Amino acid sequence: MSDEAHRVALEDWDLLFEAVLTRLRDTVARDADGQALSPVLQECLDTLEQLRQSHP
């Protein structure tokens, strides 16, 4: 296979980012008030979301 066959199409990046973010959000444990028990992981999720939105 050529190198191009291994590349992800640009239009698929948004789908990939969203899938990863959804999986990570589902993984974050939350307390009874809905607050993330791992603030560092929540911060990473927020940063990834900002990156996804700022680099379409």
d(CA 33, CA 49): 23
Does residue 3 have a pLDDT over 70? no
Does residue 45 have a pLDDT over 70? yes
Enumerate residues 6+ apart whose C-beta is below 8 A from 6: none
Does residue 29 have a pLDDT over 80? no
Task: Enter the pTM of the model.
Answer: 0.59
Q: Which residue has the tokens 């990046």?
A: 13
Does residue 6 have a pLDDT over 80? no
**Residue 40 has what pLDDT?**
85
d(CA 7, CA 9): 6
Mean pLDDT to the nearest integer, 17-43: 83
